[in-house]
Amino acid sequence: MTLAIRTEDLVKDYGDVRALDGLSLEVEEGEFFGLLGPNGAGKTTFINTLVGLARATDGTAEVFGHDVAADYRAARNRIGLAPQEFNVDRFFPIREVLEHKAGYHGVAPAAASERADEALRTVGIYDKRDTRFDWLSGGMKRRFLLARALVTDPDLLILDEPTAGVDVELRHDLWELIEELNAGGMTVLLTTHYIEEAERLCDRVAIMDEGRRVEVATPDDLRARGTDTVRLTLAQRPAAVPSAVRAIDGVQDATVDGDALVVTAAGGGRVAPALMRTLESAGHRVVDLDIRRASLEEVFVDMTRLDDEDGSGTDDAVDAETDDGTEPDPEVAAVPDGGTDGD
């Protein structure tokens, strides 16, 4: 098994702030992997460490076996990054920006032009190739960031909130495109605040909080850990919850709500038959049954809610730290956009 990403006990301090606190993660080649966490959890810092925009305080990080610090160039050349912030050189036509980017990663000029055209076609903005970044609409800017990530034909595509602020149609377009790329073998690391996005796209997700890994699992596994709600409507309004209901294995709580019994359980589908049997033998007739599965969002909130009041979350742009001894990447050299474009 080849690992696209392997980090071990990764620590990143910004002064007094510990943004990553011993983070160990493994992402397999070809996986679609989601990184979820509340604001300030350390997701962008993790990505910045992988791409060399931040230098780890401690621990190790490798991309396809290349240490991201000691073997920066080899690691970086395997990665395409679509960052959260618009950090694009605004004064050149976007096609030229892509050519520069490919050239920086060692692609010869003629091939760089072809790659630039191909990337623009892939994301559907080829007809805007001679336009400056500033003159693109918000949605086109997101598409362009993806084109820039793709122009080097990366093995690992890192997407930091790729659909932030985009409309539903574009979000679906982007999902489709990213799924195709993943189906073609590209490993994808995605951070998103749209939990349903992660639920739909990702093979596995890591939930992070305060720089630590809280959990890594498939979306299905995580959801199965949540509490489901089973609502049983009875022919006759029950006077109270029959005591045998609470005794059923897996049942956490039960209440009467009008003519229905509302039961919370670790696995709604598993307890439903026992609930039906128990109620029928207690003389009730069940006329309707509805099971609402826990959403990944609820599980996520449960897992990360412990210490949300400290206000450490931030949407600020992460300042690029230039690593000594490495040339600045064009992505780093460009001025980060403070989010003033209203996107």
Ligand X SMILES: Nc1ncnc2c1ncn2[C@@H]1O[C@H](COP(=O)(O)OP(=O)(O)OP(=O)(O)O)[C@@H](O)[C@H]1O
Residues making contact with ligand X (CB under 6 A): 14, 17, 19, 37, 39-45, 312-315, 318-319
Residue 18 C-beta: closest distance to ligand X, Å: 8
- Residue for token pair 């670790």: 266
Nearest distance, CB of residue 123 and ligand X, angstroms: 23
Token reading at 100 = 């520069």
- Shortest distance in whole angstroms from residue 70 CB to ligand X: 22
Q: Which is nearer to ligand X, 9 or 257 (CB)?
A: 9
User: Residues, the chain, total?
Assistant: 343
Torsional sign, CA 96, 100, 103, 107: negative
Q: Using CA atoms, how far apart are residues 137 and 49, in angstroms rounded to an integer?
A: 30
Q: Which is nearer to ligand X, 74 or 301 (CB)?
A: 301
Burial class from Cβ neighbours inside 10 Å (0-12, 13-18, 19+) for residue 312 reads middle
Closest distance of CB 186 from ligand X, Å: 22
Of the candidates 156, 152, 125, 153, the one whose C-alpha atom is nearest the C-alpha of residue 139 is 125
Between 41 and 230, name the residue whose CB sits nearer to ligand X: 41
Task: Considering the complex, state which of residue 30 and residue 52 has its C-beta at the smaller distance from ligand X.
Answer: 52
Minimal distance, residue 191 CB to ligand X, in Å: 7
Q: What is the phi/psi pair of residue 35, to 5°?
A: -120, 115
If we measure between CA atoms, which residue out of 289, 234, 273 comes closest to residue 256? 234
| 275/318 with CB nearer ligand X | 318
Q: What's the min distance (Å) between Cβ of 210 and ligand X?
A: 9
Please state the φ and ψ torsions of residue 190, each to the nearest 5 degrees.
Answer: -120, 130
Between 5 and 261, name the residue whose CB sits nearer to ligand X.
5
* Tally of CB atoms within 10 A around 88: 25
Cα dist from 227 to 20, 95, 119, 200, 230, whole Å: 30, 50, 44, 20, 10
H or E element at residue 112: helix 109-123
Q: What are phi and psi of 94, to 5 degrees?
A: -60, -30
- For the bound state, the minimum distance from the C-beta of residue 49 to ligand X, rounded and expressed in Å, comes to 9
Element (H, E) at 255: strand 251-257
Q: Which is nearer to ligand X, 285 or 305 (CB)?
A: 305
